[in-house]
């Protein structure tokens, strides 16, 4: 709240990163298995959904924290 934004982001990602990874990997495996279906539309659904979950994980763990740090630093510069 009143501390360093870098420490806050590191603490938040450190606490939630493992849980996010576990949830993402199990979901990716589940939908990846659907990729072995006999029906091509179901295969495509499984593969595309698994990729989307993977990209969502990357966004949540890497992109979102970086954007929050940039936004907070810009906000602090505008106050000064």
Q: What is the DSSP letter of 38?
A: S
Please report whether residue 8 resides in a domain: no
Give residue 2's pLDDT band: very low, low, confident or very high (50, 70, 90): low
pTM: 0.80
Does residue 58 fall inside a structural domain?
Answer: yes
Show the domain range for 60.
Answer: 15-79
Q: Is 43 part of a structural domain of the chain? A: yes
Q: What is the pLDDT of residue 80?
A: 64
Task: Evaluate whether residue 3 is within a structural domain.
Answer: no
Tell me which DSSP letter residue 3 carries: S
- Residues 31 and 24: their CA atoms lie apart, in Å, by 11
What's the confidence (pLDDT) of residue 31?
A: 97
Here the tokens at position 24 are 């993402």
* pLDDT per position as a tens digit, 29-69: 999 999 999 999 999 999 999 999 999 999 999 999 889 88
């Amino acid at each position: 709240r009143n501390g360093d934004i870098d420490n806050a982001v590191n603490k938040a990602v450190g606490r939630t990163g493992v849980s996010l990874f576990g949830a993402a990997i199990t979901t990716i495996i589940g939908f990846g298995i659907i990729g072995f279906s006999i029906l091509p539309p179901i295969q495509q659904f499984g593969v595309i959904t698994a990729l989307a979950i993977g990209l969502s994980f990357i966004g949540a763990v890497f992109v979102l924290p970086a954007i929050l740090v940039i936004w907070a630093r810009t906000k602090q510069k505008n106050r000064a």
